[in-house]
Amino acid sequence: MGRLTTHVLDTTSGGPAAGMKIEFSVLEDARWRLVASATTNAGGRTDQPLAEGKALVKGQYRIVFHVAEYFRAKGTQLPEPPFLERVPIRFGIADPEAHYHVPLLCSPWSYSTYRGS
């Protein structure tokens, strides 16, 4: 059974990004449809997969990470506007039976991602 998970690491503290808002969408008819919203737990993960089983189909997806809101809540002084407000990661699911893991490593000034396992 396929599933999609995520994990956020705060590279300024070297630990999980607990409390970051995430929005998960699917591209349908050239428009983004919001599928789920979640907030990362103490481990920087969502409590449930963003999609799994029959809900995960071949297609284009996007996860939007609310980076500036997270760092503001931690008391980080950010310029206005912040360098990174939200980080959208757009990716494709070619095999809905596979496990796709989309982690985000971020600071107020940079981010990186990859397909994890």
Q: Where are the domains of the chain?
A: 3-113
> Are 14 and 47 within 8 A, CB to CB?
no
Q: pLDDT by residue (tens digit) across 70-93?
A: 999 999 999 999 999 999 999 999
The CATH number of 3-113 is: 2.60.40.180
Q: pLDDT by residue (tens digit) across 16-25?
A: 999 999 999 9
Q: pLDDT by residue (tens digit) across 7-66?
A: 999 999 999 999 999 999 999 999 999 999 999 999 999 999 999 999 999 999 999 999
Measure the CA angle with vertex 43, ends 76 and 116; round to 5°: 100
